[in-house]
A and B are shown apart, each in its own frame.
Chain A
Amino acid sequence: MTLALAVDIGLTLLVLAVACWTLAVRDTFTSVIGFVAYGLLLALIWVRLAAPDVALTEAAMGSGLTGLLLLGAAARLQNAKNISAPPGLALRWVAGVLCALVSAGLAAMVLLLPDPAPTLAPAVVAHLPATGLGNPVTGVLLAYRAIDTLLEAVVLLPALLGVWSLAADRDWGGAPRLRYHRPDGALTLLAQVLPPFGIIVGIYLCWNGADQPGGAFQGGAVLAAMWALILTAGLAEAPPVSRRWLRWLLVAGSAVFLVIGLAGIGFADAFLAYPAGYAKPLILTIELVLTLSIAVALGLLIAGPPTRTPS
């Protein structure tokens, strides 16, 4: 057995152990930590599988941002204990069996794939020069399967509406509140120094997406975390959710994507098709506006429902 194989087996066992741990622990916070640790290990496995794009997405969205949302949810649940009775044994069994069925189905699909598995990878690589991009993953996400990415960007808006709908009637129109419970010099310093570097990294990821692993969602996640850090330290207040410019910012990414996609019907004979020679600038434009909208949407998701605080 080679060392690399031993490393991979060790990683796999560790992921399984952390996954079981996450499911088995009783405490919500402990479970969330398990989930974040699990995501970190998954990112490591994607690196081992030579899929840095997926590793980056897992680190930014799967583990990082989802972990932040779960942390926020766990904190809110603590504030509002005993709202409802815990699910009964029957419901837990049904949920468990359904989840096991989904896992078994996925495993069966992977095992039943013919060898070699059918792939579109050669076709993607052969046509990549037409897009002017250097990263085949971005080519798939923003050219060949742009409709998926458009829907992913749009789906953030209903998610945000879902969070906002948790606000009580009297709180509607207020601003989300994320501030740390007591002023702290160290936290203030962190929130003053870190965001400039975070913003550079966020822009770098978005810009890099054309030729290297990166993209709008990853860049947006970093920008959103930096914004949330500033809000937590109390260096800035979140805008009230009723602000018109905020709404425009939220829909700008999807709107630009949609307009360019519709223009494709006239100029390139298909929805979401790019005219020859203009693919790369159009894709970069979409990525740029999308990054901004995604950052605002993710930041507001972290910040939670609006409240009206007596000032």
Chain B
Amino acid sequence: MSIALGLFTIFAVVAGAFFFLAGTVGLLRFPDPLTRLHALTKADNLGLGLVVIGLLPQVAWPLGAIKLIAIWLIVLFAATTVSQLMARAARDGGPPV
């Protein structure tokens, strides 16, 4: 494995981990549900996305890479939909569970 690919993996995975941290901090510290949702989507999209991109050079080509990207797309798509539903629940001021 070339050094460049290794560095690429390290950089992308560390960046992905950073976005998970940022998302969690935002979820805990932001003042209202909609801003917290904004923080969450950063972790969902960028956090997992960067981790997946970073892992691409480390898995078997092409089936492993296709699966990795499929996982990201599925999570991205589901998270987007659920964010819509959650935002509507927040807007309606959904009753506390």
Residue among B80, B81, B97 with the highest chain A CB neighbour number at 10 A: B81
Chain B contacts for A186, CB-based, 8 A: 80-81, 84-85
Of A154-162, A188-196, A288-296, the one touching chain B: A188-196
Quick check: A197 and B80 within 8 Å, CB to CB? no
Chain A contacts for B84, CB-based, 8 A: 184, 186-187
Of B29-37, B38-46, B49-57, B70-78, the one touching chain A: B70-78
Chain A contacts for B78, CB-based, 8 A: 190, 194
A272 → chain B closest CB, angstroms:
34
Produce 1/0 per residue, A170-210, CB < 8 A to B. 00000000000000101101100110010000000000000
Quick check: A197 and B85 within 8 Å, CB to CB? no
A212 → chain B closest CB, angstroms:
11
* Contact residues, B77-94 vs A (CB, 8 A): 77-78, 80-81, 84-85, 88
B66 → chain A closest CB, angstroms:
12
Chain A contacts for B81, CB-based, 8 A: 186-187, 189-190
Query: Once bound together, how far apart are the Cα atoms of A27 and B96, in whole Å?
Result: 11
Quick check: A29 and B85 within 8 Å, CB to CB? no
- Confirm or deny: A12 has a beta carbon within 8 angstroms of a beta carbon on chain B: no
Contact-size category for A: 10 to 19
Query: Once bound together, how far apart are the Cα atoms of A199 and B85, in whole Å?
Result: 24
Quick check: A190 and B77 within 8 Å, CB to CB? yes
Chain A contacts for B85, CB-based, 8 A: 184, 186-187
What residue of chain B has the Cβ atom nearest to residue A186's Cβ? B84
* Contact residues, A143-157 vs B (CB, 8 A): none
- Confirm or deny: A103 has a beta carbon within 8 angstroms of a beta carbon on chain B: no
* Contact residues, A12-61 vs B (CB, 8 A): 27, 29-30
Quick check: B97 and A197 within 8 Å, CB to CB? no
Chain B contacts for A193, CB-based, 8 A: 77
Quick check: B80 and A30 within 8 Å, CB to CB? no
Residue among A184, A190, A197 with the highest chain B CB neighbour number at 10 A: A190
Q: A184-B85, A186-B84 are in contact. Are A27 and B77 (CB under 8 A)?
A: no
What residue of chain B has the Cβ atom nearest to residue A188's Cβ? B81
Quick check: A30 and B74 within 8 Å, CB to CB? no
A40 → chain B closest CB, angstroms:
13
B37 → chain A closest CB, angstroms:
14
Query: Which of B70, B77, B88, B97 is within 8 Å of A30, CB to CB?
Result: B97
Query: Once bound together, how far apart are the Cα atoms of A193 and B80, in whole Å?
Result: 13
Chain B contacts for A197, CB-based, 8 A: 70, 74
Query: Once bound together, how far apart are the Cα atoms of A30 and B96, in whole Å?
Result: 12
With A184-B88, A190-B77, A194-B77 already in contact, 11 other A-B pairs whose C-beta atoms are closer than 8 Å: A29-B97, A184-B85, A186-B80, A186-B81, A186-B84, A187-B84, A190-B78, A190-B81, A194-B74, A194-B78, A197-B74
Q: Which 4 pairs of residues, A with B, have the shortest CB-CB distance?
A: A186-B84, A190-B81, A186-B81, A29-B97
